[in-house]
């Protein structure tokens, strides 16, 4: 593994989505994780500013609240698209499963299947960090009430998979609704109000009582995202 890498965390105000770019500073190849449709030009600009060639657009899950730019980035740049196997994103070039190693130059991301927010949700471990998608947020977690979501499975994914990573592992979530940007596994174990000191049953009860309104875009976004954000037939 080269020690030289490029890393960018980018925020979309409209959907509170965090998008990430990971690049190899030597080969200048890069991937983008969870890109948002209307941030396409921003993201191409960031890649160009670093002199990076996009080789992969990667998803943590089929999003319910915004549309991915993965398909359009593939069309514009020739990058491949990768998505979790269980998300129904059929046109992806690569379907990610537990343990799948995603290589970009000499950087490697390793997939961890973390069902719960959706049935197919995946997190990605990279160096001393983990990209947690909507499985684990800073001081919160994704909801579990649609797309095969399951609060018990979410608890098992967070506690059984993410919380068994080293405490110093940095946590980069897929959304943040309160201006947080990075945490650690150790800090989330100690202080995340959804999880710290909570039993599995208490977590399930807490999630069942959230009663959140459904995301405004869900009926448009989920079918679009299963087609990498492109219009069907497009």
Ligand X SMILES: N[C@@H](CCC(=O)N[C@@H](CS)C(=O)NCC(=O)O)C(=O)O
Taking the complex as a whole, the smallest distance from the CB of residue 30 to Fe ion amounts, in Å, to: 23
Nearer to ligand X, 54 or 195 (CB): 195
Taking the complex as a whole, the smallest distance from the CB of residue 14 to ligand X amounts, in Å, to: 9
- Residues in Cβ contact with 3 at an 8 Å cutoff, skipping those fewer than 6 apart: none
Taking the complex as a whole, the smallest distance from the CB of residue 214 to ligand X amounts, in Å, to: 7
- Residues in Cβ contact with 25 at an 8 Å cutoff, skipping those fewer than 6 apart: 2, 4, 5, 6
Q: Tell me the pairing of strands 183-184 and 170-173.
A: antiparallel
Element (H, E) at 40: helix 40-49
Instruction: Report the site for Fe ion in 44-63 (rule: CB under 5 A).
Output: 63
Binding site residues, ligand X, CB under 6 A: 63-65, 134, 140, 142-143, 175, 212, 215-217
Determine the distance from the C-alpha atom of residue 152 to the mean position of all C-alpha atoms in its chain, rounded to a whole number: 20
Nearer to ligand X, 206 or 217 (CB): 217
Q: How far is CA 194 from CA 75, 76, 127, 154, 172, in A?
A: 40, 40, 26, 11, 17
Instruction: Report the site for Fe ion in 95-154 (rule: CB under 5 A).
Output: 134
Nearer to ligand X, 23 or 142 (CB): 142
Nearer to Fe ion, 105 or 116 (CB): 116
Residues forming the site for Fe ion (CB under 5 A):
63, 134
């Amino acid at each position: 593994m080269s020690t030289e890498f490029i890393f960018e965390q980018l925020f979309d105000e409209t959907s509170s989505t965090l998008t990430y770019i990971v690049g190899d500073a030597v080969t200048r190849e890069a991937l983008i994780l969870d890109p948002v449709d209307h941030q396409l030009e921003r993201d191409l600009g960031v890649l160009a500013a670093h002199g990076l060639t996009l080789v992969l657009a990667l998803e943590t899950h089929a999003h319910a609240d915004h549309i991915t730019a993965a398909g359009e980035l593939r069309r514009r740049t020739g990058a491949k698209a990768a998505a979790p196997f269980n998300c129904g994103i059929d046109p992806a070039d690569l379907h990610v499963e537990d343990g799948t190693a995603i290589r970009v130059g000499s950087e490697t991301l390793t997939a961890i299947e973390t069902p719960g927010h959706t049935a197919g949700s995946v997190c990605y471990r990279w160096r001393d960090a983990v990209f947690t998608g909507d499985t684990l947020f800073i001081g919160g977690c994704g909801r579990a009430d649609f797309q095969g979501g399951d609060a018990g499975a979410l608890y098992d994914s967070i506690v059984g998979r993410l919380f068994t990573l080293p405490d110093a592992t940095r946590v980069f979530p897929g959304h943040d609704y309160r201006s947080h940007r990075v945490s650690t596994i150790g800090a989330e174990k100690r202080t995340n109000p959804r999880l710290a000191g909570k039993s599995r049953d208490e977590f399930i009860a807490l999630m069942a009582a959230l009663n959140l309104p459904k995301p405004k875009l869900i009926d448009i976004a989920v079918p679009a995202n299963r087609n990498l954000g492109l219009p069907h037939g497009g």
